[in-house]
């Protein structure tokens, strides 16, 4: 049997070795496509739920109130509780925001909701898969499936600029510790460095690798680590813009990555539930142990570097102590936990597939509050100690003002074993 393949010079017969190579290429392409379709399906499912929920509410035009951007916005109300949950701007180029009434479950954290805009050529706003606050600055970066990065001026309450450079889903945005460089990564395999004050990139650090889903900066800003749909963690030297090393991870598909605050350790986790920690100085070999019974989706070091929190699709948050060299699980909840962020020395926020942000006191191991308002999975969290920001598949970014270390809310009644 002769296999024919289309080439630039016409249809040519393909030999046995050629058929084998073509088969491998097709399998590799099919595997990548399956992973991508799985990601997009989850996002589209959440978007459909969010939109059906949103348009099930009553929409009232308030013509006498000033617009945030452009013409008078339509304001969306929940008819039962009378709570304004979103502001829709008539301008598609700008993000729109308004102040919301804290936490629907009874907490007292004021919240502003930022609605992502629909890009030209798209009939829908992008889902939000990544958010990051600029250290020492006023900017909030957000990215999603419209391939763009939006910079929001938190103090002014308006869009600062839009960064265009990716050709596929933006999975991660991270500011350097000094706030001078923003790194972004996406499904297109590109890793791009940006000056937050400009719209043109500083450089494309890499563009020929697998889909990149996570980024981590060293504290001194000289190293950037990346991970994604492979078993390798790549390390780049930022001053020289060069790839300087690859670390072998615990498995393929590494979705979680974090540098310790002192830059001495780097942790990664993937779909087999194992976490690997490299100690980059001192010659000590990597540590590895199983923290979850499913894919690890987030990692976060505590501000003092003595704890490492991980979360995953098994619904658990796991806390590893470097002092006691042991780990413990927080009470399990009925949701996948996609995102983590410390908002205090021992205070941890966790966002999940139940659309909630759960607040934990790690000194007691107790859930002390919940933040409600998102209508889709909470995919990304970040905090600077004064505010907590969250990004969701509902196409909204929420900016929560931290008023207390504990946000009052009813204690959970369901605990999974």
Where in the chain are the domains?
A: 92-401
pLDDT tens digits in sequence order for the chain, 417 residues long: 433 333 333 444 445 555 555 555 555 455 545 445 555 555 444 444 444 433 333 222 222 222 222 333 333 333 222 233 333 332 334 565 544 444 433 357 889 999 999 876 667 899 999 999 999 889 999 999 999 999 999 999 999 999 999 999 999 999 999 999 999 999 999 999 999 999 999 999 988 778 999 999 999 999 999 999 999 999 999 999 999 999 999 998 999 999 999 999 999 999 999 999 999 887 788 999 999 999 999 999 999 999 999 999 999 999 999 999 999 999 999 999 999 999 999 999 999 999 999 999 999 999 999 999 999 999 999 999 999 999 999 999 999 999 876 554 444 444 443
Partnered with residue 320 across adjacent β-strands are: 308, 327
Alpha-carbon span 68 to 86, nearest angstrom: 12
Q: Which residues are CB-contacts of 50 (< 8 A; sequence separation ≥ 6)?
A: 375, 376, 393, 394, 395
Please give the pLDDT value at position 85.
33
Helices (H), 196-239: none
Q: Per residue in 83-99, is it b (16+ CB within 10 Å) or e — as a string?
A: ebbbbbbeeeebbbbbe
Cβ-contact 335, 353 below 8 angstroms: yes
Q: What is the DSSP string of 50-105?
A: HHHHHHTSEEEE-TTSPPSSSSPPEEEEETTTTEEEEEE-S-SSS-EEEEE-S-TT
Of the candidate CATH numbers 2.60.120.200, 2.30.42.10, 2.130.10.10, 2.40.50.100, the domain formed by 92-401 belongs to 2.130.10.10
Please give the pLDDT value at position 1.
42
Please give the pLDDT value at position 56.
34
Two structure tokens written together for 29: 């392409």
Alpha-carbon span 309 to 361, nearest angstrom: 12
Q: What is the DSSP string of 302-350?
A: -TTSSEEEEEETTS-EEEEETTTTEEEEPPB-SS-EEEEEESSSSEEEE
Partnered with residue 261 across adjacent β-strands are: none
Please give the pLDDT value at position 108.
73
Cβ-contact 115, 396 below 8 angstroms: yes
Q: How far apart are the first and last CA of the chain?
A: 57
What's this model's pTM, rounded to 2 decimal places?
0.76
Total residue count of the chain as it appears in this document: 417
Provide the 8-state DSSP code for 284.
P
Question: Does residue 47 sit in helix, strand or coil?
Answer: helix
Question: Does residue 157 sit in helix, strand or coil?
Answer: coil
């Amino acid at each position: 049997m002769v296999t024919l393949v289309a080439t630039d010079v016409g249809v040519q017969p393909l030999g046995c070795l050629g058929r084998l190579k073509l088969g491998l290429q097709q399998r590799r392409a099919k595997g990548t496509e399956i992973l991508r379709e799985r990601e997009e399906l989850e996002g589209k499912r959440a978007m459909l739920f969010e939109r059906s929920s949103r348009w099930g509410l009553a929409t009232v035009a308030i013509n006498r109130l000033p617009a945030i951007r452009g013409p008078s916005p339509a304001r969306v109300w929940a008819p039962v509780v009378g709570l304004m949950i979103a502001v829709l701007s008539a301008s598609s180029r700008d993000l729109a925001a308004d102040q919301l009434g804290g936490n629907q479950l009874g907490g007292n954290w004021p919240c502003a909701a930022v609605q992502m805009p629909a890009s030209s050529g798209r009939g829908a706003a992008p889902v939000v898969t990544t958010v990051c606050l600029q250290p020492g600055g006023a900017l909030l970066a957000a990215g999603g499936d419209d391939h763009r990065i939006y910079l929001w001026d938190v103090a002014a309450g308006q869009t600062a600029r839009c960064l265009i450079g990716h050709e596929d889903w933006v999975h991660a945005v991270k500011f350097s510790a000094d706030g001078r460089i923003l790194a972004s990564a996406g499904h297109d395999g590109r890793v791009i460095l940006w000056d937050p004050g400009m719209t043109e990139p500083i450089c494309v650090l890499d563009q020929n690798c697998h889909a990149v889903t996570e980024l981590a900066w060293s504290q001194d800003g000289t190293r950037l680590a990346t991970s994604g749909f492979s078993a390798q963690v790549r390390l780049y030297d930022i001053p020289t813009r060069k790839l300087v090393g690859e670390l072998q991870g615990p498995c393929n598909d590494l979705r979680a990555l974090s540098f310790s605050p002192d830059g001495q350790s780097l942790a990664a986790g993937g779909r087999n539930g194992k976490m690997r920690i490299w100690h980059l100085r001192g010659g000590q070999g990597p540590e590895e142990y199983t923290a979850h019974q499913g894919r690890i989706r987030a990692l976060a070091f505590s501000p003092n570097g003595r704890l490492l929190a991980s979360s995953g699709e098994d619904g658990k948050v796991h806390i590893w102590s470097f002092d006691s060299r042991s780990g413990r699980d927080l009470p399990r909840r009925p949701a996948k936990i996609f995102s983590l962020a410390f908002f205090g020395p021992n205070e941890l926020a966790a966002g999940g597939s139940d659309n909630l942000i759960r607040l934990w006191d790690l000194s007691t191991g107790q859930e002390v509050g919940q933040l409600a308002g998102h209508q889709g999975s909470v995919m990304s969290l970040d905090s600077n100690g004064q505010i907590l920001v969250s990004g969701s598949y509902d196409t909204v970014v929420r900016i929560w003002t931290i008023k207390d270390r504990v946000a009052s809310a009813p204690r959970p009644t369901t605990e999974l074993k």
